[in-house]
Amino acid sequence: MSTPYVSHRRLVQNSMAAMLSAIEIYNKPMMTYRDEVTVMLIVNAWELALKAALRKADVRIFYPKKRNEAYRSFALDTALSKVTGKQLWPEDVDGVGVTANLKALADYRDRATHLYNVEGLGALMYPFLQQNVLNYRDFVLGIFKKDLADSMTWQLLPLGATAPAESVQFMKADSSSTPVAEVKHFLDGLRRYMDDAEAAGGDTARVATVYDIHMQSVKKVTSADLTVAVSPTADGQVVVKRADPNQTHPYTMTELLAKVNAKRNGRKITSHDHQAVC
């Protein structure tokens, strides 16, 4: 029995349909199971797009057939390794970073598929989701010359994020709480993907979107840009170290330059050299 023929154009068509469906669902914030369904569709969109890239390059996309079983096309991990091995990533798309991003989303999908996700993990995945859509757009455009933006209202991409509903609960030092332990385990995995990508020389900007935080004086946790947890020491005391920067670092850059120039009777040092003397 011959291997079934699969058109890369049809794969791309279905892939883009899955990605557009994911974005549409994500933009319905009151929908139950929104984050889980979005990630499932995004991972499916990538599996189809990666296999389309392989087919376009005349690379087989099926596992070896077993007797009395149907053909099975490549899963995400295999498709990623094949695209990397065949050097099919577009020139401006870093495959290491994109792979790390996709593995993080696949982990989230697997948690939902095989069990469930702890409440609040969706907010933690937001930076990965937003960057993934941009990665996908660049990948499909680079290989198939199809722009996702032509098929959607670009302004409807998710542009805001909220902290987990129980942000303080997530940061409790008591790891015996099951939800906290699950979140910690998941976060450790996300950090590992980012660290591995960086160690491999990948573009970490392709892994997750990073936000600038503008700190403000607020009185409500719900209004905070950043929530920080402080773990007490073994004896229950919080270690506080106070230092006045005006005392520990009393000189400005201008004063430091003046002092160094006074010591040096040769070339005058300018502000462009401050990194070398400060």
Chain segment 16-40, per-residue pLDDT in tens: 999 999 998 988 877 788 889 999 9
Query: What pTM did the predictor assign?
Result: 0.69
Q: Which string of DSSP letters, residue by residue, matches 27-84?
A: T-TT-TTHHHHHHHHHHHHHHHHHHHHHHHTT---BPPPPTTS---B--HHHHHHHHH
Q: In the predicted model, is pLDDT for residue 166 greater than 60?
A: no
> How much is the pLDDT for 136?
96
- Secondary structure class of 188 (helix, strand, coil): helix
CA distances (Å), origin 245, targets 240, 248, 275, 278: 15, 5, 19, 15
Closest CA to 8 of 73, 52, 72, 58: 52
Closest CA to 7 of 48, 65, 38, 66: 48
**pLDDT higher at 157 or 33:** 33
pLDDT bracket for residue 209 (50, 70, 90): confident
> How much is the pLDDT for 238?
65
Tokens read off for 146: 């199809």
Query: What span, in angstroms and rounded, lies between the C-alpha atoms of 250 and 238?
Result: 28
> How much is the pLDDT for 159?
41
Closest CA to 198 of 94, 42, 105, 109: 94
> How much is the pLDDT for 17?
96
Q: In the predicted model, is pLDDT for residue 56 greater than 90?
A: yes
> How much is the pLDDT for 210?
67
Q: In the predicted model, is pLDDT for residue 10 greater than 70?
A: yes
| DSSP summary character for residue 149 | G
**Helix 121-144 / helix 178-199 crossing angle, nearest 10 deg:** 30
Closest CA to 29 of 161, 153, 135, 130: 161
Continuous segment of H or E residues that includes residue 164: none
The per-residue pLDDT for range 107-119, each reduced to its tens digit, is 999 988 887 777 7
> How much is the pLDDT for 198?
87
Specify the range with the lowest mean pLDDT, choosing from 40-54, 82-96, 152-166, 248-262: 152-166
Specify the range with the lowest mean pLDDT, choosing from 14-18, 20-24, 228-232, 270-274: 270-274
> How much is the pLDDT for 171?
46
pLDDT bracket for residue 103 (50, 70, 90): very high
Query: Residue with structure tokens 């883009």?
Result: 16
Whether 144 and 90 have beta carbons less than 8 Å apart is answered as no
Q: In the predicted model, is pLDDT for residue 71 greater than 60?
A: yes
Whether 147 and 200 have beta carbons less than 8 Å apart is answered as no
Query: What span, in angstroms and rounded, lies between the C-alpha atoms of 41 and 22?
Result: 5
Alpha helices in the chain (DSSP H): 8-26, 34-56, 76-85, 95-114, 121-144, 167-170, 178-199, 245-248, 253-263, 274-277
> How much is the pLDDT for 213?
60
| DSSP summary character for residue 223 | G
Whether 127 and 194 have beta carbons less than 8 Å apart is answered as no
Q: What is the mean pLDDT of the chain?
A: 80
